[in-house]
């Protein structure tokens, strides 16, 4: 134990300051969650009530600044009256760290009462009901339309189940194009994704350069994955014109992002024991990679690749509808002229190919696992 009283007081002051800062941050986070929750509840309730009363939904029946001010005042009052939604959310996210830093906060949240008898519980139930009502109104859910249009739909279905065999040759050729689009996109994405996965694995990112590369690669993969393949197909159709090449490029970009994420997560879950053992006996980085990392990831990598190829085949039929080539383009042409017999032939080919590749892929993945 230190005999310096000044040092003890300094350390005690530092600990007290850190606890106070953490407590203040928790209080601020709770306030922000409560204010956001209350503002959301007011806006959605206003929309539901105005839509049911007047038939026209209004998200903000009063000026926006008044909504913000009201949410702030209500959140402050909620913090003094009892346990709020924000306290439950922050406690759940923080766990033991909040209990240690602010035991009074944690104690107020963990009172042994039935959740549906508390203010925060009733607030969550009310928010769930309002959200469901608003979603129903916004999406214009009306199941009576299914009954009203049943006769016309039945006529279309009867034509769909009588596929036109005269276009079988063209359908087969374009289906083969779609399968090879998916194959080329997957094969081209594999080496790029393998390299990027080592940069995107947290346990392998060391030093400032490694951490920077990790953040950049992860962010880029997330951005690419957030954009739907159809959007990428439209971009490449404008870039390289309509055809299978545009569709292949769209699938290629999406495959890189998805495989990089899957590969890197597999790398993050490897057992570090073999690598440490090889390093301890003087093994070099290449030897560590070949004899400790690769044996652990080769089968999962192959499984993820087969799964991605399966996805690309199914997605290839969709991006063809926006000019990406393959069977999707032919399907869209027949849909536009309401040629349902020809559409039925295209759908039959798509179903058979997707089912066959899905079955093959599932069996291969089972053998590799």
Answer with the one of 138, 173, 202 that is the final residue of a domain: 138
Do residues 198 and 124 both lie within one domain?
A: no
Distance CA 87, CA 31 (A): 9
Do residues 130 and 263 both lie within one domain?
A: no
Position 357 in a domain: yes
Residue 306 is part of a domain; what is its CATH number?
A: 1.10.3720.10
Give me the percent of the chain exceeding a pLDDT of 90: 37
pLDDT at position 1 is 45
- What residues have CB less than 8 Å from 250, skipping those under 6 apart? 185, 229, 230, 232, 233, 235, 236, 319, 324
pLDDT at position 112 is 58
Do residues 270 and 340 both lie within one domain?
A: yes
Q: How confident is the model at residue 269 (pLDDT cuts 50, 70, 90)?
A: confident
- Tens digits of residue pLDDT in 16-39: 666 666 777 878 888 899 899 999
Answer with the one of 138, 171, 189 that is the final residue of a domain: 138
Average confidence (pLDDT) over 6-10: 63
Average confidence (pLDDT) over 244-258: 95
The dihedral through the CA atoms of 251, 256, 259, 261 has a sign that is: negative
Do residues 239 and 101 both lie within one domain?
A: no
Position 244 in a domain: yes
Q: How confident is the model at residue 114 (pLDDT cuts 50, 70, 90)?
A: confident
Task: List the Cα angle 170/176/181 in 5-degree steps.
Answer: 125
**Domain range holding 131?**
5-138
Query: What string of DSSP letters covers 115-183?
Result: GGGSHHHHHHHHHHHHHHHHHHHHTT--THHHHHTHHHHHHHHHHHTS--GGGHHHHHHHHHHHHHHHH
Distance CA 277, CA 292 (A): 9
Average confidence (pLDDT) over 164-192: 94
pLDDT at position 96 is 52
Average confidence (pLDDT) over 123-136: 91
Q: How confident is the model at residue 358 (pLDDT cuts 50, 70, 90)?
A: confident
Position 324 in a domain: yes
- What residues have CB less than 8 Å from 96, skipping those under 6 apart? none
Do residues 327 and 197 both lie within one domain?
A: yes
- Of 7 and 177, the structure prediction assigns the larger pLDDT to 177
Does residue 152 carry a pLDDT above 70?
yes
Do residues 209 and 301 both lie within one domain?
A: yes
- Tens digits of residue pLDDT in 72-96: 888 888 877 777 888 888 877 776 5
Does residue 198 carry a pLDDT above 50?
yes
- Of 96 and 232, the structure prediction assigns the larger pLDDT to 232
Number of structural domains (the chain) is: 2
Q: How confident is the model at residue 294 (pLDDT cuts 50, 70, 90)?
A: confident
Buried b or exposed e, range 154-168, using 16+ CB within 10 angstroms: eeeeebbeebbeebe
3-class secondary structure, 326: coil
Give me the percent of the chain exceeding a pLDDT of 70: 88
Distance CA 237, CA 244 (A): 9
Do residues 180 and 323 both lie within one domain?
A: yes
Query: What string of DSSP letters covers 251-271?
Result: HHHHHHHHHHHHHHHHHHTS-
Position 143 in a domain: no
Average confidence (pLDDT) over 90-107: 60
pLDDT at position 7 is 64
Distance CA 54, CA 57 (A): 8
Do residues 347 and 215 both lie within one domain?
A: yes
Position 342 in a domain: yes
Do residues 61 and 101 both lie within one domain?
A: yes
Do residues 96 and 229 both lie within one domain?
A: no
Q: How confident is the model at residue 290 (pLDDT cuts 50, 70, 90)?
A: confident
Does residue 109 carry a pLDDT above 50?
no
Do residues 67 and 197 both lie within one domain?
A: no
pLDDT at position 110 is 46
Q: Which of 140-144, 165-169, 294-298 holds the top average pLDDT?
A: 165-169
Q: Which of 87-101, 143-157, 175-189 holds the top average pLDDT?
A: 175-189
Do residues 21 and 85 both lie within one domain?
A: yes
Position 151 in a domain: no
Position 149 in a domain: no
Terminal CA-CA length for the chain: 55
Position 15 in a domain: yes
- Tens digits of residue pLDDT in 207-221: 888 889 999 999 999
pLDDT at position 104 is 54
pLDDT at position 99 is 53
Does residue 248 carry a pLDDT above 80?
yes
pLDDT at position 190 is 95
Distance CA 230, CA 251 (A): 9
Q: Does residue 83 contact residue 94 with C-beta atoms inside 8 Å?
A: no
Answer with the one of 103, 138, 173 that is the final residue of a domain: 138
Q: What is the pTM of this model?
A: 0.74
- Of 145 and 237, the structure prediction assigns the larger pLDDT to 237
């Amino acid at each position: 134990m230190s005999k310096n009283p000044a040092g003890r007081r300094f350390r005690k002051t530092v600990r007290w300051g850190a606890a106070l800062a953490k407590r203040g941050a928790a209080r601020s986070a709770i306030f922000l969650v409560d204010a956001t929750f209350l503002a959301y509840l007011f806006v959605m309730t206003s929309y539901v009530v105005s839509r049911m009363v007047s038939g026209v939904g209004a998200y903000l029946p009063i000026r926006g600044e008044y909504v913000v001010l009201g949410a702030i005042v209500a959140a402050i009052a909620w913090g003094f009256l009892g346990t709020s939604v924000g306290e439950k959310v922050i406690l759940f996210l923080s766990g033991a760290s909040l209990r240690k830093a602010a035991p009074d906060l944690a104690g107020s949240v963990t009172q042994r009462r039935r959740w549906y008898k508390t203010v925060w519980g009733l607030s969550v139930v009310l928010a769930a009901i309002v959200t469901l009502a608003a979603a129903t109104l916004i999406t214009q859910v009306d199941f009576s339309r299914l009954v009203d249009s049943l006769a016309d739909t039945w006529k279309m279905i009867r034509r769909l189940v009588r596929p036109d065999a005269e276009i079988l040759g063209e359908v087969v050729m374009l289906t083969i194009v779609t399968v090879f689009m998916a194959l080329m996109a997957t094969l081209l994405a594999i080496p790029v994704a393998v390299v990027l996965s080592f940069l995107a694995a947290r346990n392998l990112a060391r030093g400032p350069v490694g951490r920077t590369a990790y953040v950049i690669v992860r962010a880029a993969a997330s951005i690419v994955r957030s954009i739907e393949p159809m959007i990428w197909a439209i971009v490449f159709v404008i870039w390289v014109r309509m055809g299978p090449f545009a569709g292949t490029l769209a699938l290629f970009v999406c495959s890189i992002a998805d495989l990089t994420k899957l590969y890197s997560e597999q790398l993050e879950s490897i057992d570090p024991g073999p690598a440490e053992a090889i390093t301890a006996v003087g093994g070099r980085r290449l030897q560590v990679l070949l004899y400790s990392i690769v044996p652990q990831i080769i089968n999962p990598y192959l499984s993820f690749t087969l799964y991605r190829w399966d996805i690309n085949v199914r997605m290839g039929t969709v991006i063809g509808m926006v000019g990406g080539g393959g069977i999707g383009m032919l399907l869209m042409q027949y849909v536009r002229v309401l040629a349902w017999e020809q559409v039925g032939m295209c759908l039959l080919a798509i179903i058979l190919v997707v089912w066959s590749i899905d079955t093959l892929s599932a069996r291969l993945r089972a053998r590799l696992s």
